[in-house]
Amino acid sequence: MTDRSLPRAIRQAMPQAREVAVEVAKQYGVCIRPVPLKRLDVHTGRWEVVDVPCGATLDAKCPSCAKRNRQLRMAQCREGWHLDHEPAITPDEPTDEQRWLVKFRADLQARRDQAVSLGEDTADWDAAIEGVDAEIHEAGMRGNVLGHTVPKRTRSTRRRQDAPNLPKRRMAPTTLGRTFTSSDGKVYRPSLFVTLTLPSYGKVHDGVPVDPESYDYRRAARDALHFSKLVDRFVQNLRRVAGYDVQYFATVEPQKRLAPHLHMAIRGTLPRAEVKQIAAATYHQVWWPPADTVRFDGDHLPVWQDGAGYLDPATGEVLPTWHEALDQLDTDHDAQPLHVIRFGDQIDVKGVLAGTSDADQCIRYLSKYLTKSLADSLDTDNPAQRQHAARMVEALRFEPCSPRCPNWLRYGVQPKDAKPGMLPGHCRSKAHKPDHLGYAGRRVLVSRKWSNKTLAEHRQDRRTWVLEALGQPGEPADPHRYIWKPLPAGDANVPPLAMRLLRSVAERQRWRAHMAQLRAEADGQDLSATEGRVA
């Protein structure tokens, strides 16, 4: 990225300039990892390079984008929680934006693959891809672009997944909860705020096991790996009992003991005792092959043979494939699930009324840690907590995280879609990483009929709101005005990062000054909250 035509002394000073620019950018809420794109203005026929915010959700990657994202999520949560009209869901055609995102995603993937082949670090590309994937999801497409559409195997699971013992109500075709009218005619729309926590794995003090030897790290690891499935089951059971299409906005956050837990805003209400009963009755069985006896370890590892798959190095016996192992599980009537996960006793259910300060506080609580990774609750100055985290990572190291995990080889099963070079203990999946500690799922879980808007629409709302507050009607944008193209890596038209950041800061300053001027002009209107909302 450095311009070779510059004198050496200036080139050497560049990294420092870059650091300063990054700090300034952070202060002004400007994205510090902008993605340069080429934009053609079809009205003028001019191409220019435009920086698009990276869209990261974590502080550690880009605090400016993470903060904006968190504010957007809060708006989304607020709008859906106490909705008083039925959201209209219409299946829609892929829009231009969606098509563009998919093409852009493909380009990023190609650049990432190129980085891999050059032996370069792919962290930046991975982050960008993650961001675009999130955008694609938010743009209203379900599933992922790579389209893992292998038919799901449900046979054994369906037979063995026992239904919990819960009352079942008739489904009413509504997503709204009940309302109650007081004697003075006021209508109340009560909703719920629920916190669900995993069970105890041993006594903990200040986030650290009192006795690490007896702390059940294996259970903690497996619970974290399958947590999202348990949440799915909870929602299924909740809807069955509630008798309506319950909508929710939930976030998965870390506890100090490094286990994931869940905060959930639920539209509508149920008796608290019933919610507790549902949580207590909810469980998920993991019907995977056994993984408790180590068959291959150290130098004694299965070997790959083209055409056959993985073999036992001593006997030449071909290990069962993933599907064979599942078939075996099906026919064995004494088989036990690999793991059964349930919630712990700490279930908190709170009734919340729309528009109260209580509701606002819950929304802040729901979004509090969204910009932090699961491992960020760790106090790195505390050696006991560091050791606890290290033991958790160690426990996750050999746990199979998915059917494709290379760790299956350790337990004598070929992973699904086995290929040469797989090594137990070296799975590259997020779930094993210290930042994720077993939970690799989405941090925000929003049901489809929550606010009836995509994140992109919420973003547009914010913009319109500001313009209206300023008495400036938003001009109807021509959706076909611009054509966007990704820029090839190292394109000479992209100035150094420091320069781009400072340019964005200057734009932000101009814009703020403009806002302040408009505010001064808007006679008598109180717009003191405006700046805070849009910054």
Query: Considering the rule CB under 5 A, would residue 128 count as an interface residue with Zn ion?
Result: no
Which residues between 271 and 290 bind Zn ion (CB under 5 A)?
none
Looking at 23-31, 205-213, 336-344, 513-521, which segment touches Zn ion (CB under 5 A)?
23-31
Question: Rounded CA gap, 257 and 413, in Å?
Answer: 32
Closer CB to Zn ion, 26 or 342, in the complex? 26
Closer CB to Zn ion, 244 or 439, in the complex? 439
Contact by Cβ (8 Å): 43, 481: yes
Closer CB to Zn ion, 225 or 469, in the complex? 225
Looking at 46-54, 105-113, 276-284, 437-445, which segment touches Zn ion (CB under 5 A)?
46-54
Type of residue at 332: D
Closer CB to Zn ion, 59 or 253, in the complex? 59
Looking at 55-63, 129-137, 177-185, 314-322, which segment touches Zn ion (CB under 5 A)?
55-63
* Both tokens assigned to 128: 């960008």
Closer CB to Zn ion, 31 or 246, in the complex? 31
Closer CB to Zn ion, 388 or 410, in the complex? 410
Contact by Cβ (8 Å): 65, 55: yes
Which residues between 26 and 45 bind Zn ion (CB under 5 A)?
31
Query: Considering the rule CB under 5 A, would residue 54 count as an interface residue with Zn ion?
Result: yes
Closer CB to Zn ion, 190 or 495, in the complex? 495
Classify strands 309-311 and 303-305 as parallel, antiparallel or unpaired.
Answer: antiparallel
Query: Considering the rule CB under 5 A, would residue 396 count as an interface residue with Zn ion?
Result: no
Question: Rounded CA gap, 510 and 126, in Å?
Answer: 33
Which residues between 131 and 150 bind Zn ion (CB under 5 A)?
none
Residues contacting 254, CB < 8 A, separation 6+: 260, 261, 369, 372, 374, 375, 376, 377, 437
Q: Give strand pairing partners of 50.
A: 37
Looking at 51-59, 229-237, 442-450, 488-496, which segment touches Zn ion (CB under 5 A)?
51-59
Residues contacting 154, CB < 8 A, separation 6+: none
- Min dist CB 78 to Zn ion, Å, is 24
Continuous segment of H or E residues that includes residue 309: strand 309-311
Closer CB to Zn ion, 39 or 404, in the complex? 404
The pattern of x and - marking residues 409 through 448 that bind Zn ion according to CB under 5 A reads: ------------------x-x-------------------
Question: Rounded CA gap, 160 and 287, in Å?
Answer: 8
What is the distance of C-alpha 244 from the center of its chain?
27
- Min dist CB 58 to Zn ion, Å, is 10
Question: Beta strands of 368-449 (E only): which ranges?
Answer: 444-446
- Min dist CB 66 to Zn ion, Å, is 8
Closer CB to Zn ion, 244 or 408, in the complex? 408
Q: Which residue has the tokens 């909740």?
A: 238
- Min dist CB 69 to Zn ion, Å, is 9
The pattern of x and - marking residues 354 through 393 that bind Zn ion according to CB under 5 A reads: ----------------------------------------
Question: Rounded CA gap, 437 and 175, in Å?
Answer: 34
Question: Rounded CA gap, 534 and 516, in Å?
Answer: 13
Query: Considering the rule CB under 5 A, would residue 62 count as an interface residue with Zn ion?
Result: yes
- Min dist CB 51 to Zn ion, Å, is 10
Closer CB to Zn ion, 53 or 260, in the complex? 53
Which residues between 450 and 479 bind Zn ion (CB under 5 A)?
none
Q: Give strand pairing partners of 204.
A: 209
In angstroms, what is the C-alpha Rg of the chain? Answer: 26
Closer CB to Zn ion, 243 or 290, in the complex? 290
Looking at 56-64, 375-383, 438-446, 467-475, which segment touches Zn ion (CB under 5 A)?
56-64
Looking at 59-67, 238-246, 251-259, 472-480, which segment touches Zn ion (CB under 5 A)?
59-67
Return the C-alpha torsion angle 383, 386, 391, 394, nearest 10: -130
What is the distance of C-alpha 127 from the center of its chain?
12
Closer CB to Zn ion, 65 or 278, in the complex? 65
Contact by Cβ (8 Å): 416, 403: yes
* Both tokens assigned to 103: 């093409």
- Min dist CB 10 to Zn ion, Å, is 27
Question: Rounded CA gap, 455 and 444, in Å?
Answer: 12
**What b/e readout covers 487-497, taking b as 16+ CB neighbours within 10 angstroms?**
beeeeeebeeb
Closer CB to Zn ion, 429 or 460, in the complex? 429
- Min dist CB 401 to Zn ion, Å, is 3
What one-character DSSP code corresponds to residue 56?
-
Classify strands 46-52 and 35-41 as parallel, antiparallel or unpaired.
Answer: antiparallel
Looking at 24-32, 116-124, 162-170, 211-219, which segment touches Zn ion (CB under 5 A)?
24-32
Choosing from 401, 494, 498, 515, the residue that interacts with Zn ion (CB under 5 A) is 401
Listed residue (507, 205, 224, 257) closest to 388, CA to CA = 257
Instruction: Count the residues of the shown chain that bind Zn ion, applying the rule CB under 5 A.
Output: 9
Query: Considering the rule CB under 5 A, would residue 405 count as an interface residue with Zn ion?
Result: yes
Contact by Cβ (8 Å): 309, 404: no
Residue numbers at the binding site for Zn ion (CB under 5 A):
31, 53-54, 62, 65, 401, 405, 427, 429
